[in-house]
Chains A and B, each alone.
Chain A
Amino acid sequence: MNLSPAPICLSLKGISKDYAVRVLNHVDFELRAGEIHALLGANGAGKSTLCKIIAGLTPATAGEMFCDDTVYSPSDKQQAEARGIQIVQQELNLIPTLSIAENLFLTQLPLRFGVIARKQLREQARNVLLRFGMDDLDVDRETGSLGIGQQQMIEIATSLNRECKVLILDEPTAALSGKESEQLFEWLAELRQQGAGIIYVSHRLDEIKRIANRTTILRDGCHVGTFAVDDLSTDEMVSLMTGEERETKPAIKKKHLDVNNQTENQAKQNGIALRVESLHCGPLVKNISFSVRSGECFGIAGLVGSGRTELLRAIFGADHAESGELFLNNNRGPFRFKHPHHAVRHGIAMVTEDRKKSGLLLSQSIRVNSSLCNLNAYTNAAGIINQTEERTDTTRMRQKLDLRCNDIEQNVETLSGGNQQKVVVAKWLLAGADVYLFDEPTRGIDVAAREKIHRIFTTLTNQGKGIVIISSDLDELFETCDRIGVMSAGKLVATFSREAWSTDLIMQAAFSGYIDPSEE
């Protein structure tokens, strides 16, 4: 099948990048036309930096790049785009207050006498949405009102719509539902046919196995190797990334092997940690009831936009539920919280989906962030904070979560995504709660951090806490949960126990709310 290798459309030779430390060390990389080339590595391996260098967002310290055999050294994103190199970054780059149409054509708005030609703009935007199968969206809709997954799709469509010889995708499916991911893969296949090269960064190895042709693995800023994807198993990929045999899997499985222990625990503390009774909140939380036992881990699966986040926000008091009741430990209640403040006081903690927007004080230190929810405990009657206790506790958390940092006074914005997420978790562990809500707790973070956080789940359930986890990654739910509820179109449509669940059943349930009975 492989006749002669396709021409190389982008090659990097000896690329290095120094910030305070060297993050990329003489990395070679080449991308062929018409291939999907996965870039793999644990967080901090330098994947994102490499992408940024190629996309002209930051210059390399040393090394050369060639695009179609001519020297390529972009000084900014515009120059990269002029050569047909597009990047879709992990963080959304859309302007939430502008319409979908305006975002799609932000850099090339059609003008008439210096004024935006509205009609033409709408027409063009409608064509783009039609081309990408999203014509059910209104082009005049404010982009910020879309779900995060749909926004991501708009962003990708924006890049694909421009001239695109090289497309860089950094964790594109992190925010996407299964259906949206499938759609993305179709677009990518089409793009390959047209001879474009695609650089694909993702932690989802099964995805990479499915769609990528070759993979380049980075570890600590060094090029480990470039392989044909078919030659590697996912386990081999992980060991190449971490540089060691993978020994962490058994630790996760152990929890489930200890079924006896588990049931004993549950027998001992058979109390209900959280019971939700017919909760209604906006269009995406409709009549939801479920309960979580102490020491139980309850997963919530569902497509992006099915109301999973909204459900947790309604429980936590971040959004106002219209009706419904909550009961906590030993049937305390009923409650309906109007502000997260009340939820926290009654022993609920919530790790939000977007750590930068609603989880962290980015410009503040690890210490300030970790102690934020527990500050009352360090404060005396006069309102003065005992900083020694605060430091001791933060240091304890740093060790417990294996937080990689120079010092607890370091600003959290300088940490990698995985370590930032650990800070958010540390904050809630210090605050202490009976019920922990986790919304996409391991999105976009590396394998090691992910397993660290999974172990925290085990610790918490062993302490008799109730846990609710939302994840778009079904494997994560299978690994960590005792039961999985599935949401679809704002309803909790099914609940599966460990013995009964399967990917098929869950996906069927997840789609069930969106199938129009009149069409069948």
Chain B
Amino acid sequence: MSRNDSTNRIKSQERSRSSKVASSLLQYAGMVSVLLGLVFIFSLMSKNFLSMTTLTSIANSIPDLTVIAVGMTFVLIIGGIDLSVGSMLAISSALLGVLMADHGWSLALAIPCCLFACGLCGFLNGVISVKAGIPSFIVTLGMLEIARGVAYLITGSQTKYIGSSVEWIGTPIQGMFLSPSFLIAIIVVIAGQFVLGRTLFGRYCIAIGTNAEAVRMSGIKSAPYSITVFAISGVMCGLAGIMQTSRLSTADPNAAIGLELAAIAACVIGGTSLMGGRGSVINTFFGVLIIAVLQTGLAQIGASDPTKRVITGSVIIIAVLLDAMRQRWGKNRR
């Protein structure tokens, strides 16, 4: 072993490079096969499941959860958590409703406002937790209440009907079956994966989540990166608020209660570690799809709401168990 000649080394490099490609595909293959398995089961149990209507309705119902889960993936990777996403979404929705329905703003003016407001909430989450060293669990738990309260204050606890000026965002484009929302969500997923895998920012996020002390002792200031991650999570909520409002044509301060749990579940199903340092945006997207397929499929075969909850919860636990086993297997193989 000590006298490795160079040909051996090159060979082993080639081998490991091809095995690396294989293993990264394998990583997605696991999620894809679970997803296809679910689709297969539901298509056996319900005749209508494998139809264009069902599939497009699934696709058009997930953009808001998708973009929030992308933001959440980054937060989890740096070792934090963001419980305030549902409430921030509500702020975005409430602002959009009040600005457009009550003040007659155009969509183009209202959207930046929504994104900014939510980005600011996320930024506050980040600054307080990072600078004061308070666990993000607690700070964002506080923000969950604050932002929800602000959403009620903005709308006077009423829903605001906006109508056709936003509906087009959530409506399938003719001949394409997919809504602008969905396309934006896909772009966000691809951009998110690129940022995570290819940029300095993504690399630092992973490093911070893996060992914050080593990052500090490497001469890297982690605070700006961590704060940015929380701000991004906020902006994603702003975007999701617009998507959800457009789908329902109505701004609702009650929107998205409990959405943080669905977002965390999607990340976790996709193999993101709650301890930080490990995660994939693409796999998070598969996590979102699995949840959506499960919800729609169970509804179609006539499962009651309590049953749906039991099954969805079980799937989350099973997914994490499988991931843990895969990890252990990978480690033993080495």
A→B interface (CB under 8 Å)? 19-20, 220, 316, 318, 339-341, 343-345, 350, 352, 357-364, 368, 372-373, 375-376, 379, 382-385, 387, 404, 406-407, 409-411, 414, 427, 431
Cα distance A350–B213 when bound, in Å?
A: 13
- Determine if A344 and B219 form an interchain contact, defined as CB atoms under 8 angstroms apart: yes
Among residues of A, the one whose C-beta sits closest to the C-beta of B275 is A363
Size bracket of the B interface: 20 to 34
- Determine if B217 and A383 form an interchain contact, defined as CB atoms under 8 angstroms apart: no
- Determine if A20 and B333 form an interchain contact, defined as CB atoms under 8 angstroms apart: yes
Tell me, yes or no, whether B53 is within 8 Å of chain A by CB: no
- Determine if A407 and B207 form an interchain contact, defined as CB atoms under 8 angstroms apart: no
Tell me, yes or no, whether B199 is within 8 Å of chain A by CB: yes
Residues of chain B lying within 8 A (CB to CB) of residue A361 = 206-207, 210-211, 214-215, 277
How near does chain B come to A276, taking the closest CB pair, in angstroms? 19
Tell me, yes or no, whether B201 is within 8 Å of chain A by CB: yes
Q: A20-B334, A363-B210, A407-B13 are in contact. Are A340 and B218 (CB under 8 A)?
A: yes
Contacting A at CB under 8 A, from B1-39, are 1-2, 12-13, 16, 20
Among residues of A, the one whose C-beta sits closest to the C-beta of B223 is A339
How near does chain B come to A144, taking the closest CB pair, in angstroms? 14
Tell me, yes or no, whether B247 is within 8 Å of chain A by CB: no
Cα distance A220–B334 when bound, in Å?
A: 18
Cα distance A382–B213 when bound, in Å?
A: 27
Which of A341, A357, A368, A404 is within 8 Å of B213, CB to CB? Answer: A357
Interface bits B295-327 vs A (CB < 8 Å: 1, else 0): 000000000000000000000000000000000
Cα distance A341–B204 when bound, in Å?
A: 14
Total number of residue pairs linking A and B with CB closer than 8 Å: 95
- Determine if A368 and B203 form an interchain contact, defined as CB atoms under 8 angstroms apart: yes
B→A interface (CB under 8 Å)? 1-2, 12-13, 16, 20, 198-201, 203-204, 206-207, 210-211, 213-221, 277-278, 332-334
Which of A340, A350, A384 is within 8 Å of B198, CB to CB? Answer: A384
Which of A344, A372, A384 is within 8 Å of B199, CB to CB? Answer: A384
How near does chain A come to B190, taking the closest CB pair, in angstroms? 14
Cα distance A345–B333 when bound, in Å?
A: 41
Residues of chain A lying within 8 A (CB to CB) of residue B1 = 220, 404
Residues of chain A lying within 8 A (CB to CB) of residue B215 = 361, 372
- Residue from B203, B207, B215, B332 with most neighbouring chain A CB atoms (10 Å): B203
Cα distance A220–B332 when bound, in Å?
A: 20
Cα distance A379–B1 when bound, in Å?
A: 35
Chain A interface SS verdict (over half): mixed
- The list of the 5 closest CB pairs from A to B, nearest first, reads A344-B219, A407-B16, A361-B210, A379-B200, A340-B219
Q: A361-B207, A372-B220, A407-B16 are in contact. Are A385 and B214 (CB under 8 A)?
A: no
Residues of chain B lying within 8 A (CB to CB) of residue A358 = 211, 213-214, 216-217
Residues of chain A lying within 8 A (CB to CB) of residue B13 = 407
Q: A340-B219, A373-B219 are in contact. Are A364 and B200 (CB under 8 A)?
A: no
Residues of chain B lying within 8 A (CB to CB) of residue A344 = 218-219
Cα distance A341–B198 when bound, in Å?
A: 23
Cα distance A19–B334 when bound, in Å?
A: 8
Residues of chain B lying within 8 A (CB to CB) of residue A350 = 217
Among residues of A, the one whose C-beta sits closest to the C-beta of B330 is A411
Residues of chain B lying within 8 A (CB to CB) of residue A316 = 217
How near does chain B come to A429, taking the closest CB pair, in angstroms? 13
- Determine if A373 and B198 form an interchain contact, defined as CB atoms under 8 angstroms apart: no
Among residues of B, the one whose C-beta sits closest to the C-beta of A390 is B203
Among residues of A, the one whose C-beta sits closest to the C-beta of B16 is A407
How near does chain A come to B64, taking the closest CB pair, in angstroms? 27
- Determine if A406 and B203 form an interchain contact, defined as CB atoms under 8 angstroms apart: no
How near does chain A come to B221, taking the closest CB pair, in angstroms? 5
Q: Could you list 22 examples of A-B contacts with CB < 8 Å?
A: A19-B332, A339-B219, A340-B219, A341-B219, A344-B218, A344-B219, A357-B211, A357-B214, A361-B214, A361-B277, A362-B211, A363-B210, A363-B278, A372-B214, A372-B218, A372-B220, A375-B203, A385-B203, A387-B198, A406-B12, A407-B12, A407-B13
- Determine if A383 and B201 form an interchain contact, defined as CB atoms under 8 angstroms apart: yes
How near does chain A come to B197, taking the closest CB pair, in angstroms? 9
Cα distance A21–B137 when bound, in Å?
A: 42
Cα distance A258–B218 when bound, in Å?
A: 34
Cα distance A383–B207 when bound, in Å?
A: 16
Among residues of A, the one whose C-beta sits closest to the C-beta of B273 is A363
Residues of chain B lying within 8 A (CB to CB) of residue A357 = 211, 213-214
Q: A19-B332, A427-B218 are in contact. List 20 more A-B contacts (CB 8 A).
A: A19-B334, A20-B333, A220-B1, A340-B218, A340-B219, A341-B219, A341-B221, A343-B219, A359-B214, A359-B217, A361-B207, A361-B215, A363-B277, A364-B210, A364-B277, A368-B206, A373-B220, A375-B200, A384-B199, A404-B1
- Determine if A340 and B217 form an interchain contact, defined as CB atoms under 8 angstroms apart: yes
Cα distance A360–B12 when bound, in Å?
A: 25
Among residues of B, the one whose C-beta sits closest to the C-beta of A409 is B20
- Determine if A385 and B278 form an interchain contact, defined as CB atoms under 8 angstroms apart: no
Residues of chain A lying within 8 A (CB to CB) of residue B217 = 316, 318, 340, 350, 352, 358-359
- Determine if B219 and A364 form an interchain contact, defined as CB atoms under 8 angstroms apart: no
